[in-house]
Amino acid sequence: MKKIIVLGALALLLSSCSGNWGWYVVDPTLPKGLINLKFLISGLYYTVLLSVTAILISVVVGLLVALPGLSPNKYLRGFNRVYVEIIRAIPILVLILWVYYGLPQISGYTISVFWAGVIALALSDSAFEAEIFRAGIQSIDKGQYEASHTISLNYVDTMRFIILPQAIRRILPALGNQLVYMLKMSSLVSVVGMQELTRKANELVVTEYRPLEIYTVLLLEYLALILVVSAIVRWFENKMNTDQR
């Protein structure tokens, strides 16, 4: 609640500033300002959809990459290490450009802006998710594995019913941080024309020539969005801890 009050106070302070600042372009009491605000907010849908889709895919891919890293087979562990190191070394902006412009030439298929962004973000984040899952699974006591063997559970059932539920509770804060990171990194997809928050702001700046005011609203949009997401993640984390007790 305090963060929302601070956010509102900041917005009020900015709106009260005088001088040569053209806050009329985003003033909701003016017809044109209201239209501009609606235009800016309209990018919220694609920002959230892009980020949530990418994080869901990256979690699945990250888990699949993490499991070989726990194998006693050195080749499987090598695959995990090579994948993680290569993907983490590639800047996400470069990866977005490569997927959008380069992948269609290799595959022969046209990729939409949305799916190019999803693929690039999910691929980049999957390396971090793999390390998060690997650390979470390794943190589970070996006695849990031994207990599962005594009741004749195979590897898949052991992971599904015993290890992963405990590991997810431990890595939930890290997964929440990755979702916040994904929301912020989604702004980079604007370079290939994705109509999300940042792209909308860039287009409005071109027509209104008021970058300070428009980018301030953009900053507040991201701030409010991430505060809400962080609060939801904390609530979910507390709920899981309560259920466990």
**Confidence check: pLDDT of 66 > 90:** yes
Give the span between the Cα atoms of 96 and 92, in whole angstroms: 6
Please give the share of the chain, as a percent, with pLDDT higher than 90: 57
pLDDT at 132: 94
Cβ contact 242:203 at 8 Å: no
Task: Tally helices (H) and strands (E) across the chain.
Answer: 12, 0
For the cut 50, the answer to whether the pLDDT of residue 172 exceeds it is yes
- Mean pLDDT, the chain, rounded, equals 87
At 18 the pLDDT is 44
User: What are 100-115's pLDDT values in tens digits?
Assistant: 999 999 988 889 999 9
pLDDT attached to residue 8: 54
Higher pLDDT, 154 or 61: 61
pLDDT value for 70: 87
